[in-house]
Amino acid sequence: MRMLKELYNVKVLSENEIISCLESIGWNKIMDSIYETFIEEAKGNTISPPKVIMSFGEYDNDYRIMPSMMFKYPQFCGTKIIGACSSNPKKFGLPLAMGLYVLNSAETLIPLLIFDASITTAYRTAAASAVAIRELSKTNSKILGIIGCGQQAYYHTKACLSIRDIDKIYFYDISKEKMDDMARRFDRSFTSSKEEIFEKSDIVITLTPTKNPHINVSDIPNREMMICAVGGDSDIKMEFYPEVLGVVDHFCDSYDQVSHTGVVIKAMEFGVIKKEDLKSLGDFITRKAMLDDTKKVKMFLSTGVALEDLAIARLLYEHIK
């Protein structure tokens, strides 16, 4: 860990230090912290404006700014600056997501901690999905399916294994190399097809940041299962055809942000759902929203909330003090 004297002795963590700290903290504590953000947000005890997203057409990138604060921890506030750079992996050998997090003293605004937000974003996104899985999936779920084998696939698999006794894991990606690589990293795992994953899995996690929907109503089985939809987190991304929202019992992480995702925009435009049909996971946890027992498939619509990043930053800061 370094300290920048030129910038109020702010602490700076390397990627290896971040990974070491988070492994030491452990998935259970990370998930408990993320769980807390859902509760506090549902109670109105947070400041977390919707993320600002600027799209750069020339580079096919986006640039996001995500500030937040929780009243339960009034000494902290923080901001993440992150973007998705589609050409990074192939052209530059860099991660798809590039970001920076700054944790500040809420009283003085002095920066307390700065770190690369790529890994922490993967952790917090996976932890949020795991919280949703813990709340919405069957406790005896045994088969996990992962669609999309980028960086998020590894962390989502690890998080899910920490809360469910999984017997088999199926991986699918349009890149056979990525799919094979992910299957080699876990026991009891296999490469598969999208169709087989939906046919066999109790829990399906979709991690495909695509502009072209590829999962339709016909792919959704008529049985109890749970889906975490993670890839469609902006207005131009869509993993699912909008009609899917009409046949699943869906919960979001943020009313404001999910209302500006591609699938929800189209679902409302086509009359598949109305705004009042949206439910948040936080409202479900605090019993302000209920399950729809007429729909067997439960879905979590993940957009990625700034409060989750703040929770991770606070854990890191407290761990290194």
The alpha carbon of 109 is separated from its chain's Cα centroid by a whole number of angstroms, namely: 27
pLDDT at 90: 84
Q: Measure Cα distances from 304 to 60, 77, 123, 185, 281 in Å.
A: 20, 17, 11, 26, 13
User: Is residue 148 helix, strand or coil?
Assistant: coil
| pLDDT reported for residue 62 | 86
- Could you tell me what percent of the chain has a pLDDT over 90? 85
Q: Lowest-confidence range among 48-57, 71-80, 179-188, 218-227?
A: 48-57
| 242 pLDDT more than 80 | yes
Residue 84 and residue 209 in contact, taking contact as beta carbons nearer than 8 Å:
yes
What's the pLDDT at 5? 84
Amino acid at 208: T
Tokens encoding 170: 């199926």
Domains and CATH numbers, the chain: 2-120+307-320 (3.30.1780.10), 127-304 (3.40.50.720)
pLDDT at 217 over 90: yes
- The whole-chain average pLDDT of the chain stands at 95
The model's pLDDT over 63-100, given as tens digits with 9 standing for 90+, comes to 999 999 999 999 999 999 998 888 888 889 888 889 99
Cβ atoms of residues 291 and 226 within 8 Å? no
| Percent of the chain whose pLDDT exceeds 70 | 100
| Two structure tokens written together for 272 | 């598949």
pLDDT at 95: 83
Strands 189-191 and 61-70: unpaired
Q: Residue 54: left (phi > 0), alpha (psi -120 to 50), or beta?
A: beta
Q: What is the mean pLDDT of residues 284-297?
A: 97
- Alpha-carbon distance of 141 to 234, in angstroms, equals 29
Q: Residue 266 and residue 259: Cα distance in Å, rounded?
A: 10
- At 226 the pLDDT is 99
CA nearest to 54, candidates 42, 63, 41, 66: 63
d(CA 253, CA 24): 26
The string of pLDDT tens digits covering residues 35-44 is 999 999 999 9
